Amino acid sequence: MIELADVSKRYGMDGRWAVEHANLTVAEGELVALLGESGSGKTTLLKMINRLIDPDAGTVRVAGRDVRGEDPVALRRTIGYVIQQVGLLPHLSVADNVAMVPRLLGWARGDIDRRVDELLALVGLSPGEYRTRFPDQLSGGQRQRVGVARALAARPKVLLLDEPFGALDPITRVGLQGELARIHRELALTTILVTHDMAEALSLADRVVVMCAGEIRQIATPRALVTAPADAYVRKLVDVVRTQIAQLHALADGAGAARGEASEGARDLEAARGESPGATGDVE
Amino acid sequence: MSNSVGELIAGMPPLLASHLALVLVALAVACALGLPLAVALAGRPRLASPVLTVAGAIQTVPGLALLALMVPVLAATGGLGVGLSSFGFAPAAIALTLYALLPILRNAITGLRGVDAATVEAARGMGMSRGQLLWRVELPLAAPVIAAGIRTASVWTVGAATLATPIGQPCLGNYIFAGLQTRNWTMLLGGVIAAAALALILDAILAATERAVSRRPRGVLAAPVAVFGVLVVVVFGVLPRISAPDGPRVSPVAQAPKTPGTPGRSAAPGTQPGAASPVAPVAPVAPIGRVKVGAKTFTEQYVLAELLRARLEARGLEVDVVESLGSNVVFEALRHGDLDAYVDYSGTLWTNQLARDRGAPRWQILSEVEGYVAREHVRSLGPLGFQNAYALAVRRDTATKLGLHALGDLAPHAGRLSLGADYEFLSRREWTAVRTSYGLGFQRTASFDPALLYEAASRGEVDVISAFSSDGRIAAYNLVVLDDPAAALPSYDAMILLGPRVSDDPRVLCALGPLRGALPVELMRRANLMVDHDHASAKAAAAWLLGQAAITETCQAP
């Protein structure tokens, strides 16, 4: 469905490569997570799929067609796009925000109205209550639900998400992650999710693409990633999650010993970061 | 005999209409230029900053200077190549447009740059084209900031438009200039209050439009266009109809009660036998339309303009008075046919147009000036009979104490005396000539509005002033004029000048020709004093003057 062949991109003539010789094929119906720290090139890679960024070298194909031959505006209307800050238009109601792409495509009014209700229901917002609200009358989680509904309005087969849950509190985040997995399955979407959250990538994705400094370090299923990390960097990322889980267990096991062991765990984490500055990052 | 508040208000609609028309045209053009420019510049900081610097530099030019500057610019470029008049509406509208451009441009650029980057990215990722992004996202989100810029511009423009009077565009400034010159504080305040009220009302309308637009975003264009349309209908359709039925009263000074023109001797029936008539007898003539009479920015000019109006109207001509014109604007306007008649002074033309820096015998100045204007296709009807020359005047007690009779007597005392002068005098050739001829070096010089000069002298704020010899206030404030034995100051014979459009029209010549030599300086002084001191209207003073003057008609009575 989506194919990136030897894709490279750098900003400015003598800047370093943001993405270097990346190869990735995403099958129809697959949910792939691009995992990495900020500056790893994962967002650049994502934006090359809907031509918000054009690569300096290599080829990007969507549904078998080279995107360089497509009109970027027309291409983007067939690909759903969700970003962390949502970017709803503050002067438009929820219904008008969701209806944006169908309107651009010139759908009939009745079709648009039906579609808006259908989508609000799909993302778990009661249409009667939320249609007429404005973005500033919504919580962060509700706003991102509207963002997802807006991205899906014109029935795209491909959905791109750029850290969609990064700004949400943990409980809301987990709830929305579950909803995303359900919607992905129900609509048989091909989904690419950019995240810096290892737990999110492991729990949602069919396959995880680990990126560091513009390079793809490993492409693997969550299980393969945990059991057979390709290099030291990937292993460290996995260890961070392990350490967190260990800390949690320690806290649950004994109130007395918990504090000491917890701080020991934190020291391990510090040490891991110290060994490889490239591996530091705010892992949640 | 004074101008009451009621008369002031009755005369206001046409001035309000032309003021508002000027403001609306300037704002509309500034928006039409500024908003697309802002859209083009918002994403290009390297281009935006020099453009904003230029717009900011224009803003620092004082309003009066910017407006006056447009007159020579338009004259030199042939009306920007499309034949715009260099007088009146066009230069005023262009100057105000430039003035309004900065706030509109700066706010629009700031507003567009301030649009949330994430919202723009989401909209692009959604598949909006450049144009859709602009109209559906960037403009609606920047609208409050853009609207604030337009509101700022509208308030500035209403205020700056009052300065359009001296370049020949009637507006609320007519009340302010005329009120200041004739010391009519009612009129001055009337103009100020009307302009302030207009600014507030316009701002309130724009604010209401802005609120309506923010609630109904699809009306982003429709609502302002609708408001603008309504204002245009008011300005061009409704207000002119409210104006008095006897034609547009462009001059607020003319708002005197309609005294039945006390024609006196001027209306004596029958022709004067034996009087050599310089013009053809009245015969059916081609219509010349309305005659435009000009007046500079001082009392005597307002009175004389009303006098010309009364004479022309008595011959059945329709007259507009365009008043409070800048001294340098008025001759150019006459030469180009934007004005038809006004009174100028031989010495003014001698120094300004002929660029002579010394005085000369009175007959020589007159004949050279008449030769000059004829070459410019302007017709002089000869001297009216009085002079309004520059003179230096001092308080009578100062003159007595220091023994001052002539300008030369000032030389030993000047180092301890101060000189007050009107705005132009200190930069005129006459002042250089007086200073060098008599060796005068004053301790201090100060510029005053001419309306305030005489009072400043009588109160002792300055010792010596530049005075005008036909000004009734010389005597009224107990001042004495110092003799000029070296003839450093040129003579200033008042003379009627006719523009090319009317210079051969027999009705105009019959109306104005007989005024030659008919106005002795004593009569002119008393007429000026009626306005300056007794707050009579210029029209009333002109009527009195016509009744007193010895006018010998040369044509059959109309």
Residue listed under structure tokens 């993405």: A19
Instruction: Decide if B466 contacts B392 (C-beta within 8 A).
Output: yes
Cite the DSSP H helix spans in B408-500.
429-438, 450-458, 473-476
pLDDT given at position A181: 94
Q: Spell out which residues of chain A touch residue B121, defining contact as CB-CB under 8 Å.
A: 52, 83, 87
pLDDT for B460 equals 85
For residue A98, list chain B residues with Cβ-Cβ distance below 8 A.
none
For residue B447, the model assigns a pLDDT of 79
A253-262: string of b/e by CB count within 10 Å (b at 16+)?
eeeeebeebe
Chain A residues in contact with B140 by the CB 8 A cut-off are 89, 91
Cα distances from B336 to residues A182, B139, B159, B319, B503, in angstroms, run: 82, 45, 29, 18, 13
**For chain A, percent helix, then strand, then coil, each to nearest 5?**
50, 20, 30
CA A33 to chain centre: 6
Instruction: Give the distance from residue A76's alpha carbon to the nearest chain B alpha carbon, in angstroms.
Output: 5
- Residue B70: both structure tokens together: 């447009």
* A101, closest residue in chain B (CA to CA): B126
Which pLDDT score, from 0 to 100, does residue B220 have?
Answer: 57
Give, for all 558 residues of chain B, the pLDDT tens digit.
Answer: 345 677 778 778 888 998 999 999 999 999 999 999 999 998 888 888 898 898 888 888 888 888 888 888 888 887 777 778 778 888 899 999 999 998 999 999 999 999 999 999 999 999 899 999 998 899 988 988 999 999 999 999 999 999 988 888 888 988 888 887 777 788 889 999 999 999 999 999 888 888 877 665 555 566 667 777 777 777 766 665 554 433 334 444 433 333 333 333 333 333 333 334 444 444 445 667 899 999 998 889 999 999 999 999 999 999 999 888 877 788 988 988 889 999 999 988 988 888 887 778 888 999 999 999 999 999 999 999 999 988 999 999 999 999 999 999 999 999 899 999 887 788 777 888 888 899 998 988 887 777 788 888 888 888 999 998 898 888 888 899 998 888 888 889 999 999 999 999 999 999 999 999 999 999 999 999 999 888 888 999 999 999 999 888 888 776
User: Is the CB of B127 less than 8 angstroms away from the CB of A101?
Assistant: yes
Query: Using one digit for the tens of pLDDT, what is the confidence trace for A95-123?
Result: 999 999 999 999 999 999 999 999 999 99
The count of other CB atoms within 10 Å of the CB of residue A221 is 13
Long-range contacts of B141-144 (CB under 8 A, 24+ apart): B141/A89, B141/A90, B141/A91, B141/B111, B141/B115, B141/B116, B142/B108, B142/B111, B142/B112, B142/B114, B142/B115, B143/B111, B143/B210, B143/B213, B143/B214, B143/B220, B144/B111, B144/B210, B144/B214
Give the distance from residue B109's alpha carbon to the nearest chain A alpha carbon, in angstroms.
20
Residue B33 CA to residue A13 CA, distance in Å, equals: 37
Which residue of A lies nearest to B120 if distances are taken between CA atoms?
A: A87
Q: Which residue of A has its CA nearest to B220?
A: A91
pLDDT at A255: 55
pLDDT tens string, chain A, 284 residues long: the values are 899 999 999 887 777 889 989 999 999 999 999 999 888 999 999 999 999 999 999 999 999 899 999 999 999 999 999 999 898 998 899 999 999 999 999 999 999 999 999 999 999 999 999 999 999 999 999 999 999 999 999 999 999 999 999 888 988 999 999 999 999 999 999 999 999 999 999 999 999 999 998 999 999 999 999 999 999 999 998 998 889 889 989 888 865 444 544 455 455 544 544 444 444 444 33
Hey, are the CB atoms on B217 and A91 less than 8 Å from each other?
yes
Beta bridge partners of B431: none
Partner-chain contact A73 B125, CB within 8 Å: no
Only one residue has tokens 């000189």, namely: B419
Pairing of strands A17-26, A215-220: unpaired
Angstrom distance (rounded) from CA B173 to CA B188: 9
pLDDT at residue B1, rounded to an integer: 32
Going from the C-alpha of B160 to that of each of A51, B65, B98, B172, B540, the distances in angstroms are 50, 11, 11, 10, 31
- What pLDDT, on the 0 to 100 scale, is given for residue B312? 94
The pLDDT of residue B396 is 92
Whole-model pTM: value is 0.71
Q: By the 8 A CB rule, do A50 and A160 touch?
A: yes
Find the angle CA(A89)-CA(A93)-CA(A97) to the nearest 5 degrees.
50
Distances (CA, A) of B50 to B44, B55, B61, B149: 11, 9, 17, 19
Q: What's the ipTM?
A: 0.83
Residue B361, pLDDT score:
86
CA distance B340 to B500: 7
Residue among B119, B126, B217 whose CB faces A76 most closely: B126
Q: Measured between beta carbons, which residues in chain B are less than 8 angstroms from residue A92? A: 217
Alpha-carbon gap, residue A53 to B125, rounded angstroms: 11
Contacts of B469 by beta carbon, 8 Å cutoff, 6+ apart: B387, B388, B389, B390, B391, B481, B492, B521
Do the Cβ atoms of B122 and A73 come within 8 Å? Answer: no
**Chain B residues touching residue A77 (CB < 8 angstroms):** 126-127
Q: How far apart are CA A197 and CA B301, in angstroms?
A: 85
Pairing label, strands A190-195, A158-162: parallel
On whether the CB atoms of residues B475 and B526 are closer than 8 A, the answer is: no
What are B305's two structure tokens? 């303009």
